[in-house]
Each structure stands twice: as structure tokens, then as C-alpha cells.
Amino acid sequence: MSVQVWTWILVGVTFALYFGIAIWARAGSTKEFYVAGGGVSPLANGMATAADWMSAASFISMAGIISFTGYDGSVYLMGWTGGYVLLALLLAPYLRKFGKFTVPDFIGDRYYSNVARTVAVICALIVSFTYVAGQMRGVGVVFSQFLQVDITFGVIIGMAVVLIFAFLGGMKGITYTQVAQYCVLIFAFMVPAFFISIQMTGNVIPQLGMGGTVEDGTYLLDKLDQLHTQLGFKEYTDGTKSTWDVFAITLALMVGTAGLPHVIVRFFTVPKVKDARKSAGYALLLIAILYTTAPAIAVFARTNLIETVSETKYADVPDWFKNWEDTGLIAWSDKNGDGKIQYVAGGAIEGKKPVYTEERGDYGERLISNANANANELYVDRDIMVLANPEIAKLPNWVIALVAAGGLAAALSTAAGLLLVISTSISHDLIKKQIKPDISDKGELMWARIAIVGAVIIAGYFGINPPGFVAAVVALAFGLAAASFFPAIILGIFDKRMNKEGAIAGMVVGITLMLFYMMKFKLGFFGGGTEADWWFGTSPEGFGTIAMLVNVVISLVVSRATAAPPQYVQEIVENIRIPSGAGEAQSH
């Protein structure tokens, strides 16, 4: 069977499973909608957390960015993995004991202020929409290639799917759907890795295969370094980023993780604080399977890509190359007229939509913008590396289709979690807690579902008009979370003297600073700027660290210059830091 037939079968089966779970787990109360009734087992919650955590950025884009940047790409591995450890050990048990299932709810009660709650809601919406833009782009990429539909239509299909199981089941439906999605995405990620590792190194374990030898006895990483230097690239195992920027990006990703509202809410879906700790441990083990495999897939994909296309005549390129050209995610421009693909170091050319040429009778070369004087003739979008890898390695069609199903599972599971955060921020933290405190349970549930519909529409727009490749967009979301939430949460737990004035000032300044830097250097607003203009040599992905530090300083200074929080708040802070005898978290 063809790849497309296999893809329709596997995607159809997995989607039917997700819909069946959503109908079975239909939420009938706000507690089920927000925290799955608080009765999920630690193992199931660990699997759901892992699926929630491993987004399209982890599945589709992380190995892609590592395959292009080599050593520099390790910041994503270190930051995202370290961040989960930080969240699990430093924050989750305390927040779970506090008993508030949304970050704005925690901030509103801890800082005894609806102004603080509103600021937190705005921050949650900004972070979640930035993050969900990356997921929807991932959905569009997968659908456009494997189901042969327009990328816009692909995003719309993804929106409809997410809407159904988020709208019906809320956190209850999403949790059990994510258990299934974890199984799908991890199977889809590992099977091609096993195949390609055996194919290239004879070792079935990809992590060992990456450090193994190829047919001529050369170590695979040494071979990739040689291929890189021959083409004018820097050695794959050598980094180009400054030590400071590596540190800044890693820390921003770590503390951003600890401030992500859609991950934090997971620790409220289990019955006890002890179960929250257990589920965090399970999730870390399940996440590690993918995260330790991603660098190996990056190495395999990069090696295969260079050997397949470099110096190859365009007329002789494999079918996978021309298939991906039709999506505009890979492009070639014959600058020197020799008919061969020159893939060398130099500024990337930009792939555009293919244009049919009558005289050639096919789509021919892609429209290229910025085809400058350097010799590089190839543009490859980083987001296709994991998806195209099985095709490049000539694996069976069912494996290629499996990767498509896995990519969709990863993107949709995280998108669902983010959309739930958006809906709870509006229905619970804005309407229930501030605008209409006497609203009924049924009315609150209705507003939560209305908010999800609105959020899906906005998320779809971002998916159709994305601001960059998936990992970059997601990294910015982590920077925004680091700049806004992390200091307010960590100081709220460990500093009794932290008051509402300090927290509000810190969050407002932190997220404003991060948004300004992101818009200036990533989106070209406020006059734009180049790498040479970066403040303190810090990339936009790493600037969350500086914005977070500014937030902490302002929070501490303002809190010390204003009145101390009420005594009952200080007693709450003392109480949530006592782990023994925590038992059931108070239900609110």
C-alpha cells in the first residue's frame, strides 16, 4: 500500500480512538472539566503529563533543530529536561498542597489580589497562545504532506479534532486521550529510530548507534563532522553559541517549564500530594525515552540528508525530495546552472510555493527569494527532518505513515492541554472569581466550552500564519513563562514577605520586557535588529533569563518597600512548605 493509504488508515484508527475516549470520558461537572475529577492514577497521569509535555516541538522540531545546529541544539535537551525536574521537585508538590488548580488561581489567592489574578490570566493567555501556535503549525505540516491537503485545510482539520475532545471531556477527556496519544507518539518515534540505527550502525539501540561505527569502521559522529567540514559547515560536534547564550537559553527553558500553566495543572488530577510526586517520576522516565533518542535521530537524519542530496543531479533526486517540495518546505535553486544540488555553508535560501511551468510540464524549481550570491542552493525547513527521515532512509511505507500519526498525536495532545488552560483562565479565574462569583456550576462549564471554541479559532489563525518554525516559537513561549510566572510562583512559595505589590510589578515588567525583545529581534518591530544588536549577546530564546532576573529584583525591591502580606497569608506559606502529613489537598 502507498504511504498515503497507510497514513489515512493509521490516522483514522488513532483519531477514532481519541474520539471514542472523549465520548466515554465526557465531563459532567466543572471539577471533571478542570481536573478530571481529581481521581486519575499516578501512572495514567504520568503518561498524560508526558504526552502533554512532549509537544510538536519535542516530536517534530527538536531533533530537526539539533540536526541543523549540532552541539548548539543541546540547549533544548538540557533546558526542557532540566525544567521538568525543577518543576517536579521544586514546585509541583507545594502547588498541589496549596490546592489551586490554575496558576492565576494560586497567584490570586497567594497574593490576596484580583489585580494579581487578572495579570496572571493575561500572562497565561499570552504564554498559551504563543505555545499553541507551534502545535498548530506542526499539525499543518503533517497534514499537508502526508494527507496531501493544503496546509490551511490541515490546520482546520486539526482544530476540529482538538475541539471535539477538549469541548466534550475537558481535562477528563483530555487526560485519557493523552494516555493513548503518548502510546502512539512514543511508538511512532522509536520504531524508525530502531530501523535506521540498525541500518546505519548495526546497533538496535539508537542512543548507542549514535556513538557507534558505520560500515567502513568510522565513528558515525566523526563521519558527520567530516561531511560538514567538506561542505564548509562548522563541525557538527562543535558549538557556535557563546557560553553565556547557551546558559541563558538553557535556564530560560528550565524556569519557563516550571511556569507553564498546562503542565502545572496536571498535578491536580491525582487524588493526593504523594500521587503528584509519583506521577512526576513516571512522567520523567517516559519523557526520557524520547529525549535521549532525539539526538540520535538528528545525527541519522543529518547524515542521510547530506549523503542523499549533496552533489546529486536534480533529475536524479529521490521521490521524497520532490514530494516535500510540493509543500514548500524544501527548495532548490540552480544558481550555477550545473543541474546539481550544491548544499554548502551559507545563508539559507527561502522556499516558496511551487509554480507550474508549462515548458517543463512539471513544477520544476521552486520560487526562491533572497537567492543571494553565496553558493548554497538548498533550503530545508527544520521541521521536516523527523517526518522525512523514514522516507530518506527508505523505510517501509507503514513506518512513514506511523511517524505522521505520531506527529499529530504529539501536536494535538499539547494543543488540547493549552486550550484547556486558556478556557479555565477565562471561565474560572476571570468570570467565576471576579466578574460573576455566584455563577452556577453549569454556567461556568458553559463559559469554559465557549472559551475553548474561541481559543481554537485564534490558535488556528496562528497555525496558518506562524511566526517561525515550531521549536523557535515554543522556546519563546518558555521565555514568556520564565519572565512572568516563575518568580511569582517560586517567591510565593519560599518568601513569606513577598506581597501583592511586588508580584504584580514583577510580572508586568518581566513579561513586557520579554515581549518587547521578542517583537524587536524576532518579528522586526521597533526598528528590528541583528545578532550584533542583541543585549548582552543574548538571543531572543535566551532573553527569558534576563527578563526573569529583572522580575525577581523588582519583586523583591517593591515588596520590601511596601506593606507585608496579611498574617493569614504568611501562615499559608508556612503550611504549604511542610510535606509531611499533607494528605488530601483541600478542594476549592
Give 559's pLDDT tier (boundaries 50, 70, 90): very high
CB-based contact 415:135 (threshold 8 Å): yes
The three-point CA angle 195-196-197 to 5° equals: 95
What whole-number distance in Å separates Cα of residue 461 and Cα of residue 448? 20
- One domain for residues 234 and 372: no
CATH number of the structural domain spanning residue 61: 1.10.4160.10
Instruction: Answer yes or no: do 347 and 226 share one domain.
Output: no
Give the number of other Cβ atoms within 10 Å of residue 567's Cβ.
9
CA dihedral defined by 495, 498, 503, 504, rounded to 10 degrees? 170
Q: 583: which 3 cell numbers? A: 494528605
Q: Indicate left, alpha or beta for 148 from its phi (over 0: left) and psi (-120 to 50: alpha).
A: left
| Residues 391-410, mean pLDDT to the nearest whole number | 85
- Examine the pLDDT at 437 and tell me if it is beyond 90: no
Clarify whether residues 338 and 284 are in a common domain: no
Q: Is residue 555 part of a domain?
A: no
Number of neighbours of residue 526 by Cβ within 10 angstroms:
11
pLDDT at 76 over 80: yes
Domain boundary, last residue among 452, 467, 482? 467
The H or E element that residue 157 is part of is: helix 151-201
Does 566 reside within a domain? Answer: no
- Is pLDDT above 50 for 584? no
Domain assignment present for residue 567? The answer is no
Q: How far apart are CA 149 and CA 354, in angstroms?
A: 15
- My answer on whether 297 and 411 are in the same domain is yes
Query: What would the 3-class secondary structure string for 526-548 be?
Result: CCCCCHHHCHHHCCCCCHHHHHH
* Average pLDDT rounded to a whole number, residues 289-295: 90
Q: Predicted confidence band at 545 (pLDDT cuts at 50, 70, 90)?
A: very high
User: DSSP label at 564?
Assistant: P
What pTM was estimated for this model as a whole? 0.79
* Of 406, 438, 467, the domain-final residue: 467
Task: Identify the burial level of 200 via C-beta atoms within 10 angstroms of its C-beta, where 0-12 means exposed, 13-18 middle and 19 or more buried.
Answer: buried
Does one domain contain both 273 and 212? yes
Higher per-residue pLDDT: 576 or 403: 403
User: Do residues 34 and 110 both lie within one domain?
Assistant: yes
pLDDT confidence of residue 157? 81
> What integer pLDDT is reported at residue 580 of this predicted model?
46
Same domain, 229 and 358: no
Q: Which of 57-61, 415-419, 492-496 has the highest mean pLDDT?
A: 492-496
The mean pLDDT value for 341-356 works out to: 66
Q: If pLDDT is split at 50, 70 and 90, which confidence band does 279 have?
A: confident
Whether residue 505 contacts residue 547, with contact meaning beta carbons closer than 8 Å, is answered with no
Taking every pair of C-alpha atoms in the chain, what is the biggest distance, in angstroms? 81
Q: How confident is the model at residue 333 (pLDDT cuts 50, 70, 90)?
A: confident
Q: Check whether residue 190 and residue 216 sit in a common domain.
A: yes
* Residues 269 and 346 occupy one common structural domain: no
520 in any annotated domain: no
Coil vs helix vs strand at 367? coil
pLDDT at 182: 87
Are 373 and 397 contained in the same domain?
no
Query: Total structural domains in the chain?
Result: 2
Which range of 131-145, 341-355, 391-405 scores highest in mean pLDDT? It is 391-405
pLDDT at residue 313 tops 80: yes
* Segments forming the whole domain that contains residue 36: 3-304+391-467
Task: Please compute the mean of the pLDDT values over residues 455-483 and round it to a whole number.
Answer: 74
- Judge whether 140 lies within some domain: yes
Q: How far apart are CA 483 and CA 550, in angstroms?
A: 8
Same domain flag for 109 and 254: yes
Q: Are residues 18 and 71 in the same domain?
A: yes
| Residue 582 lies inside a defined structural domain of this protein | no
Confidence of residue 425 (pLDDT cuts 50, 70, 90): confident
| pLDDT at residue 552, as a whole number | 96
Q: Is the pLDDT of residue 247 over 70?
A: yes
User: Which has the higher per-residue pLDDT, 472 or 70?
Assistant: 70
